[in-house]
Amino acid sequence: MKSKDSMKEYFGNSNVKSLKAVGNGIVIGMLAGLVAVLYRFLLGKGEVLLRYMGSWSKQSIFHGICWFLILGMISFVVAKLIKWEPMISGSGIPQISGEVKGYLNPSWWKILIAKIIGGTLCIIGGLSLGREGPSVQLGGMAGKGYAKATKQDETKEKQFISCGASAGLSAAFNAPLSGLMFSLEEIHKNFSSSVLVTTLIAAIVADFVSKTVFGLNTVFGFELKKVLPLSHYPLLVLLGAILGMCGVIYNKVTLEIQSIYKKITASKMELRVIIPFFIAGVLGFLCPQVLAGGHTMIELLEEKPGLLVLIFLLLLKFIFSAVCFGSGAPGGIFFPLLILGSYVGAIFGTISIEYFQVDASFMNNFIILSMAGLFTGIVRAPITGIILVTEMTGGFSHMLSLAVVSMVAYVVANLCHSEPIYDSLLSRILAGQKVKEVKVNKKKMLLEFTVANGSPLVHQQIKDVDWEDCLVVEIRRGEEEIITKGTTTIKRGDQLVFLVDSNGLSNYHKKLSKLCSGEEA
């Protein structure tokens, strides 16, 4: 579609645009929701099959040998799928972020096929990987497929990918608000009004699809009996600091294990992927609780295991998860890191109850709070972490304690100069595969950014700013839409709409985002 047509549609009648946004959100939510639900269903069946094969393999030495041979064949198939479509490797969230920023342009249908098959096989093999990151990628690719089918322009395609990613997370966790916030905070990295409506509708529709299939129950069944009193908040500050440091360690170890894999296996994907499958086979005999996503470990917490058991399972799950993810096998870190957070919380709660006279009824509070805190320390998306854990547990009376733990973890991780994990992973994808910016033959795209309080643009006139080769075509100020002139003054809270060349999308996205937010270049 030509840039003129794109702009005409973008600046068309607001009522028509609103109706189109709602309609697109419904369709994308349905498509992404169905794909994510299918993936979630297959992973559930995969875990059932894993438990059956675990019992079967222990019946005799012959069965055990057969199981290891099966694991070898599964790892071979997974490696071939990764070679066929390299962008299914790992979580999928960095890949989606990279595509929205203009770095990547993978085949949407190849990712849908390879990620679903590869992710399911990894869970059958017992790898400690989550469904949420892949669900985000699958949802994003469903949105991209819809954009291709309806012949949308480049701007709409990026928006549909973001919407699909939101819907994917919503369906994976039964958490529509978290899906919306994660898309805006982590994927799109911009609270754009043009994306907001479509993304919210898509997340709600995907959540409806998911709950129609899996029911209305929350993902975690922890019952929070009462709210932590304010007298315990010094403990929450300490917990947040610990979780921030744990996030720094998690990111460092995860990236280091990726580097080790590259050194010892070079480009031999078959050799790299078979390592976690072999370890999973061994752990199936020695400690099957740490296999797959971690639902068994959550159930174990209800039995209130001792402190040494909690520490042992935490360390083993952490190392095993890092080994699985570092191999490049298709699967995410999202759910496993929440499991790790729950165990850090259980350890902290056990110590607090035993040595600081905290009531034992608050144990579940520490578990839930630690999930949000560790997520924030690793991903650096505090709002998403707070809303996600709130939706997953079904309780909204603990927002203050969640905010305290999450923000302390956020500050500590930033003070340690630890880069958010998905940003680090995207950088490695681009460097490792020598991915260059996607070239799109002189097409134009529209980008939208909100002017923050600390932005140098505040109170500046359009003519006084060096925009290089970007064109500010509109300012949205509340309900008012202003066609810009050189003398137009920019105010805080304005939403600036830019017309840019697709050829330099990633550079424009980075520069304009920093300029409008006030971040240092």
How many other C-beta atoms can be found within 10 angstroms of the C-beta atom of residue 306?
9
End-to-end CA distance of the chain: 33
Inform me whether the pLDDT recorded for 57 exceeds 80.
yes
Residue 311 region, left (φ>0) first, then alpha (ψ -120 to 50), else beta?
alpha
| pLDDT tier at 130, thresholds 50, 70, 90 | confident
Residue 130, classed as helix, strand or coil, is strand
- In this structure, are residues 449 and 498 in contact, taking their beta carbons and an 8 Å threshold? yes
Label each residue of 463-513 as H, E or C.
HHCCCCCCEEEEEEECCEEECCCCCCECCCCCEEEEEEEHHHHHHHHHHHH
Q: Which of 277, 235, 230 is nearest to 400 (CA)?
A: 230
Q: Which of 104, 113, 71, 88 is nearest to 330 (CA)?
A: 88
Mean pLDDT of the 157-180 span: 84
pLDDT, tens digit (0-9, with 9 covering 90-100), for 438-449: 444 446 666 777
Q: Which domains does the chain have, with CATH numbers?
A: 3-214 (1.10.3080.10), 230-269+281-430 (1.10.3080.10), 439-517 (3.30.70.1450)
Question: What 3-state class would DSSP assign to 90?
Answer: coil
Highest mean pLDDT among 92-96, 139-143, 289-293: 139-143
Min mean pLDDT across 101-115, 241-255, 267-281, 467-481 is at 467-481
Residue 117 backbone phi and psi in degrees, to 5: -70, -50
Answer yes or no: are the C-beta atoms of 313 and 301 closer than 8 Å. no
Task: Assess whether pLDDT exceeds 70 at residue 254.
Answer: yes
pLDDT at res. 172: 82
Q: What is the mean pLDDT of residues 142-170?
A: 87
Asked whether the CA dihedral 450, 451, 457, 459 is positive or negative, the reply is positive
Over the range 321-339, which residues count as b (16 or more CB within 10 Å of their CB) and which as e?
bbbbbbbbbbbbbbbbbbb
Q: Give the model's pLDDT for residue 65.
A: 92
User: What sign has the CA pseudo-torsion 466, 471, 476, 481?
Assistant: positive
Q: What is the mean pLDDT of residues 393-414?
A: 82
The answer to whether 364 touches 223, Cβ cutoff 8 Å, is: yes
Which strands sit side by side in the sheet containing 444-450, from one edge to the other? 444-450, 495-501, 471-477, 480-482
User: Is the model's pLDDT at 380 over the cut of 60?
Assistant: yes
Tell me the percentage of the chain whose pLDDT exceeds 70.
85
pLDDT, average across residues 384-397? 73
Range with the lowest mean pLDDT among 57-71, 181-195, 242-256? 181-195
The model's confidence at residue 144, banded by pLDDT at 50, 70 and 90, is very high
Measure the CA–CA gap between 130 and 134, rounded to whole angstroms: 8
The mean pLDDT of 11-28, rounded to a whole number, is 72
The sign of the torsion formed by the CA atoms of 121, 123, 127, 133 equals positive
The tens digit of pLDDT for each residue in 350-364 reads: 998 888 888 888 888
Report the C-alpha dihedral over residues 166, 172, 175, 181, rounded to 10 degrees.
-30
Q: What is the pLDDT of residue 438?
A: 46
> Which residue reads 């496993």 in tokens?
336
**pLDDT mean over 280-287:** 90
Instruction: Give the least confident one: 13-17, 34-38, 62-66.
Output: 13-17
* 302-347 confidence digits (pLDDT tens): 888 888 999 999 999 999 999 998 888 888 887 888 889 989 999 9
The count of residues in the chain is 521
pTM here?
Answer: 0.78
Helices (H) and strands (E) in the chain, counts: 19, 4
* 227 vs 251 pLDDT, higher one: 251
Residue 162, pLDDT > 80, answer yes
Q: What is the DSSP string of 175-226?
A: -HHHHHHHIIIIIS-S--HHHHHHHHHHHHHHHHHHHHHH-S--S------S
Residue 117 or residue 269, greater confidence: 117
Tracing tokens 């100069």 back to the chain, one arrives at: 417
What span, in angstroms and rounded, lies between the C-alpha atoms of 311 and 317?
A: 10
